[in-house]
Amino acid sequence: MPSEQPIGSPRYPPVPHALTSAFVRDQLALRARSVNTQPERRTGEFVLYWMQSTQRFADNWALRFATREANRLGLPLIIHQGLDPTYEHASDRIHSFILHNARELAQRAERGGLRYQFVLRRRRNDDRRAVDRVAARAALVVTDDFPTAGIAERTQRFAARCACRVVAVESHAIVPAALFVKEEWAARTLRPKVMANLLHALEPVADALPREDASEALWRSLEVDRLDLSGDLAGEIARCEIDHSVPPVPLKSGRRAALARLRKFCDDALPRYDERRSDPADPDGSSRLSPYLHFGQVSAAEVARAAIAAVGRPGAERFLDELVTWRELALNFALRNLNFRSLAALPDWVHRTMAAHAQDAREVVYTREQLERAETHHPLWNAAQRELVATGSIHNVMRMYWGKSVLTWTATYDDALQHLIHLNDKWALDGRDPSSYGGIQWCFGKFDRPWGERPVWGTIRSMSLERAYKKFDALSYQRRWNGEESGL
Ligand SMILES: Cc1cc2nc3c(=O)[nH]c(=O)nc-3n(C[C@H](O)[C@H](O)[C@H](O)COP(=O)(O)OP(=O)(O)OC[C@H]3O[C@@H](n4cnc5c(N)ncnc54)[C@H](O)[C@@H]3O)c2cc1C
């Protein structure tokens, strides 16, 4: 039953639900799904939570499910996280963000009485599948349900070879993604449905430790090579067989940094978010929380509650539209359309217009390498690419110009899509996320409608870098990222 208390009222948030409550049971019924058909292992010594995309202990539905299952079975809970050199675009940038958060998790686990371990596989030929060895002694395995970054495929492969029950739990969305079984057409079709459920889904839960603690003997007997996270993480990363040409970014990783950023955003920028978010020369006009959200260091529900507590629901509406409607539209897309990384995901009208304009002369054609090195004729585009390489992100408005421009600078639409996915997944700290593919495909007409016909664009909505100079202080943005390079 939805809460009767309006969000933003002095009584919001309501009293948190207990982990044993009907609210939590109902949420988990929507969020959890079995990935194989194996039974629970009767001789299992613990419940294993294999942490993948939700890299936090608070507001984590998979951890809640695992804790409830551990209590039901009277078993302790072990939390395992691993990092391999084999994921797509494995780099110092991504490794560093994950490892520094893991260090904080280890400290929290130590203080909070949770059993958390981290295993780093440094080289491709090193012994692999530490999780399999731990899972071999588990009654059941709980993991995160996440459609991108290779996690769905990894989970599927693991579940196929695991001899006990494997359950994947979705914690990415505020409103459980399972409520929307079909692919949504546009923000306008999803918006009323997610917004009607938002109030209920935001009700807080009082997380609790599992009743049984793992004995020291059990903990020591798990034969995996645990990483000492208090050690030299940069040195560990240097020893990994990954792409060292993509360096870490200055952005501090971890929940503490995420919550500090959230607080600052709610105090400073949120009251004028609608206006400030549209100015790329104002780097703090939006939350810049996407890397923390992508790695699950903070939950979207925590962000939404903080925003509503700061300015009330009406004041937060514009921000919630991005955080909930657009973010969950992207999740729905990645879950319900297996072609989310290909042009095949686009609607029929886009295919018709692309076919009609495939042979149009392109003003210029760039290779992927030229784009990656920011070697185009346009200083504003180069500035956005340089921001991406330097910081792991591009301002939201510039991200649209960045994506749309490439559509007209390649021989085929497919080249454009693949270049964008490559650049974004490789350099963006929030890359490989459902919102990555939702955002990039939006540049090609996904979630949109036909506009006026133009060369190369066809009826896809066009965006011109020249016009950007009239809309915001593009010269300041450009100077900031290009150094001394002057305007057009
Ligand atoms: C070409 C292109 C590529 C993109 N790639 C990514 C990506 O790799 N990862 C990513 O998280 N987002 C991506 N987006 C969506 C959007 O640009 C970013 O989410 C946003 O700029 C992040 O900045 P912020 O955290 O300050 O957002 P805020 O404005 O503060 O919004 C809060 C949160 O809402 C979500 N959000 C905001 N806008 C969108 C949107 N349009 N679609 C989906 N979710 C949204 C994000 O999680 C964001 O952190 C892309 C958009 C485009 C056009």
Ligand 1 and 277: CB distance under 6 A = yes
Where does the pLDDT of residue 165 fall: very low under 50, low under 70, confident under 90, or very high at 90 and above? very high
Among residues of the chain, what percentage have pLDDT more than 70? 96
**In contact, 306 and 262? CB cutoff 8 Å:** yes
Q: Are 36 and 166 in contact (CB under 8 A)?
A: yes
Whether 440 lines ligand 1, by a CB cut-off of 6 Å, is yes
Alpha carbons 191 and 195: distance in angstroms, whole number: 6
**Global pTM value:** 0.96
pLDDT in the model for residue 484:
54
Cβ–Cβ under 8 Å, residues 434 and 334: yes
From ligand 1's centre to the CA of 447, what distance in Å? 15
Whether residue 377 contacts residue 364, with contact meaning beta carbons closer than 8 Å, is answered with yes
- Say if ligand 1 is within 6 A of residue 294 CB: yes
The answer to whether residues 269 and 463 touch, using CB atoms and an 8 Å cutoff, is no
For residue 261, is pLDDT > 80? yes
Distance 290 CA to ligand 1 centre (A): 6
Shortest-distance Cα residue to atom 51 of ligand 1: 439
435 alpha carbon – ligand 1 mean position (Å):
6
pLDDT value at residue 12: 55
81: β partners? 51, 118
Place of tokens 């009743």: 211
Ligand 1 center to residue 239 CA distance, Å?
Answer: 32
How far lies 86's CA from each of 149, 150, 326, 402, in Å? 12, 10, 30, 29
Q: How far is the CA of 39 from the centre of ligand 1 (A)?
A: 40
Q: What is the mean pLDDT of residues 384-391?
A: 98
Domain architecture of the chain: domains with CATH: 35-172 (3.40.50.620), 174-208+254-336 (1.25.40.80), 343-482 (1.10.579.10)
400 touches ligand 1 (CB under 6 Å): yes
pLDDT at res. 486: 46
Read off the tokens for 182: 């079909």
Q: Select from 406, 432, 435, 447 the residue to mutate for testing ligand 1; criterion: most ligand atoms less than 8 Å from CB.
A: 435
Q: How confident is the model at residue 58 (pLDDT cuts 50, 70, 90)?
A: very high
Atom 52 (ligand 1): residue with closest C-alpha? 439
pLDDT given for residue 367 in this prediction: 98
In the predicted structure, residue 258 carries a pLDDT above the cut 70: yes
**Averaged over 342-370, what is the pLDDT?**
98
Best residue among 322, 385, 422, 432 to mutate for probing ligand 1, ranked by most atoms within 8 Å of CB = 322
Q: Is the CB of 385 under 6 A from ligand 1?
A: no
Give the per-residue pLDDT at 3.
Answer: 42
Ligand 1 centre distance from Cα of residue 478 (Å): 21
- Is the confidence at residue 381, as pLDDT, over 60? yes
pLDDT in tens, 133-159: 999 999 999 999 999 999 999 999 999
Looking at every residue in the chain, the average pLDDT score rounds to 95
